[in-house]
Amino acid sequence: MTTAAPKTEFSSIRPLSEADRDRILAAVDTAFETQLDFLSDLIRCVSLRGQEAEVQELVERALLERGYQVDRQSIDPALIGQHPAFSPATVSYDKSWNVIGVHNPPMIDGRSLILNAHVDIVPTGDPERWQYPPFEPTRHGEWLYGRGSGDMKAGLSAAIFALDAIRAAGLELTAPVQIHSVVEEEITGNGAAMAVASGKIADAVLIPEPTDEKLVRANSGVIKFAITVQGTPAHPREVSGGVSALEAAMRLIDHLRKLEARWNEERPTRPFFDEVDNPAALTIGTINGGEWIASVPSCCRFEGRIGFYPGDDPQERVKEFGAFVAVVAADDPLVQRCPGPVVEWVGVVHAGYTLDPGSEAEAVLAEAHAAANAPDGSPIQTYVMACYLDAAVYSVHASIPSLVYGPIAENIHAIDERVSLPSLRRVTKAIALFAASWCGVRPAESAPRISAAGLES
Ligand code: ZN
């Protein structure tokens, strides 16, 4: 475990000058169309689970071109089950690896920073239902459409181009900065877990997930399960001798709604969660069952996730969940006619986190947000995100102040996902100003300078 370094150690960091700030903001504007081209290239990569190689090669190239020290980082299966940051893995990680870019300045006089983004995306559903093909990024008005545009390839582009803007402004960070382009966020969090388990830590991490330009105050812990129910198959002429695994599974799902309600009832006593609509948010994501149209189905398997509160031990929630399933299965008149349902853990099993109010990281981000939104912007708002975030891995296992803050996006995990381009521009600016203030800057020896009028040689 490491802890964030105390404030006093960094008293030598000078505040960002107004001139530096203006040059950084101008540099984001100057490169914004190039950023959108890069973002579009990211969206064209179909980076579903296990298929992230193409997008990671693209990110790797982009970081190498910029002079980062770049490593491909495999997820070591031997660590899973050994290090507490990992969740169960059900697939091979042969074709899934992180890309870690590091810049170590010659002179260190500031706080180090990680910018993290995940490159994996979720399936599109029927592409015919999309207004534009999901992997052909399309600009319409102030939006860019495409699967992964908001969640969270825009954020990845913001991280890379924010750091570019600092250099284009003729400045150099005075603390190490890392870019963690990770896999597996959408299912296990094992990409971020690998980064943390391998000691890739810093004084703060910022993750530009699509948060509508708000800062995440807390998220939920999450466990992802699969339940298999075995029925008794039968011919339609002797239905009474059979037990439908499908119907038994549906009963179990109904019972699980009671567990969801029970976990939701805990919210009044949980900091930051008292006004969250549905913190447990039981979601049944897939269901597969039956073998033949005219047979009583012998087997049904469904998968889902359920959430709980920061501070809860996920293993205790796993036990509570398993015990609940066993009790309702034994009590239900239909399900009790089946062998005991088998519960498996097939995705993230992880605690939630809280960003404690009053951290210096939050104060620096609040200032950067205000400057990026000047003159009409409102102060940064905070909210609770009732879902898993990789920030939890950095926060829980390395005690790193974890800031989740990113652009406005709509329809993430849905049809016609899109990201707001003016919002992405503002967020890129805020991240650039945050990184410059957090890490500290000094005039670069040889970097190009940029002014509002454009590049100067
Ligand atoms: Zn995401």
Mean pLDDT by 10 residues, the chain (457 residues): 41 77 98 98 98 98 98 94 94 96 92 98 98 98 98 98 98 97 97 97 98 98 98 94 97 98 97 95 98 97 98 98 98 96 98 97 97 90 96 97 98 98 98 97 70 42
Please tell me the distance between residue 414's alpha carbon and the centre of ligand 1 in angstroms.
13
Point out the domain boundary residue: 301, 326, 350. 350
pLDDT at 247: 98
**Same-domain pairing of 83 and 145:** yes
227 and 336 in a single domain? The answer is yes
Residue with the two structure tokens 């239900």:
332
d(CA 279, CA 454): 47
Report how far ligand 1's centroid is from the alpha carbon of 388 (Å).
9
Q: What's the pLDDT score for residue 13? A: 60
Same domain, 191 and 232: no
Task: Give 393 Cα–ligand 1 centroid separation in angstroms.
Answer: 14
Give residue 12's pLDDT: 52
Q: How far is the CA of 20 from the centre of ligand 1 (A)?
A: 31
Q: Is residue 205 included in any domain, yes or no?
A: yes
**Do 291 and 429 lie in a common domain?**
no
Between the two ends of the chain, the Cα-to-Cα distance in Å is 45
The answer to whether residue 6 is domain-embedded is no
Alpha-carbon span 398 to 199, nearest angstrom: 9
Packing angle of the helix pair 154-168, 421-439 (nearest 10 deg): 50
Please tell me the distance from the alpha carbon of residue 121 to that of residue 114, in angstroms, as a whole number: 21
Of 350, 372, 404, which marks where a domain is finished? 350
Q: Is residue 421 part of a domain?
A: yes
Spacing, Cα 378 to ligand 1 middle (Å): 25
Gap from CA of 150 to ligand 1 centroid (Å) = 8
Residues with CB under 5 Å of ion ligand 1 are: 151-152, 209
Q: Please give the pLDDT value at position 360.
A: 96
Which own/partner contact pairs does 235-244 have at CB distance under 8 Å and 24+ positions apart?
Answer: 235/294, 235/295, 235/296, 236/294, 236/295, 236/296, 239/296, 242/296, 243/296, 243/334, 243/337, 243/338, 244/296, 244/297
**What is the whole-number distance in angstroms between the Cα of residue 155 and the centre of ligand 1?**
9
Query: In this structure, is residue 382 part of a structural domain?
Result: yes
Residue 63, amino acid: L
pTM of structure: 0.93
Q: Are residues 96 and 174 in the same domain?
A: yes
Q: Are residues 123 and 270 in the same domain?
A: no
Shared-domain flag, residues 187 and 242: no
Whether 357 and 396 share a structural domain: yes
Q: Are strands 221-230 and 454-456 parallel, antiparallel or unpaired?
A: unpaired
**Residue 4 belongs to some domain of the structure:** no
Helix 18-30 vs helix 421-439: crossing angle, to nearest 10? 140
**Tally of domains in the chain:** 2
Contacting residues for 28 by C-beta, under 8 A, at least 6 apart: 161, 162, 165, 425, 428, 429, 432
Are residue 357 and residue 392 in the same domain, yes or no? yes
Q: Is residue 11 part of a domain?
A: no
Asked whether residue 10 is assigned to any structural domain, the reply reads no
| SS (HEC) of 27-78 | HHHHCHHHHHHHHHHHHHCCCCCCCCHHHHHHHHHHHHHCCCEEEEEECCHH
118: nearest Cα among 414, 368, 406: 406
Query: Is 73 in the same domain as 48?
Result: yes
DSSP state string for 262-285: HHHTTGGGSTTTTT-S-SS--EEE
What's the CA-to-centroid distance between 389 and ligand 1, angstroms?
7
Positive or negative, the CA dihedral 454, 408, 417, 155 is: positive
Given this model, what pLDDT does residue 33 score? 98
Q: Are the C-beta atoms of residues 284 and 301 closer than 8 Å to each other? A: no
CATH code of the domain containing 227: 3.30.70.360
- For residues 133 and 66, membership in a common domain is answered with yes
Give 108: exposed, middle or buried? Use CB within 10 Å, 0-12, 13-18, 19+.
Answer: middle
Estimate the share of the chain in helix, then strand, then coil, as percent rounded to the nearest 5. 35, 25, 40
- What CATH number did the domain enclosing 76 receive? 3.40.630.10
116 beta partners: 180
What is the whole-number distance in angstroms between the Cα of residue 32 and the centre of ligand 1?
22
The answer to whether 203 touches 435, Cβ cutoff 8 Å, is: no
The token duo for 452 is 């509002």
Please identify, among 350, 370, 388, the residue that sits at the C-terminal boundary of a domain.
350
**Which domain does 256 fall in, by range?**
221-350
Inter-residue contact 89 to 190 (CB < 8 Å): yes
**pLDDT for the residue numbered 451:** 44
Tell me whether strands 221-230 and 409-410 are parallel, antiparallel or unpaired: unpaired
| Residue 54 sits in the same domain as residue 194 | yes
Closest CA to 116 of 364, 407, 365, 391: 391
Separation of 118 CA from ligand 1 center, angstroms? 7
Half-sphere exposure of 355 (CA within 13 A, CB side): 29
User: In this structure, is residue 3 part of a structural domain?
Assistant: no
Both tokens of 217, joined, read: 């105050």
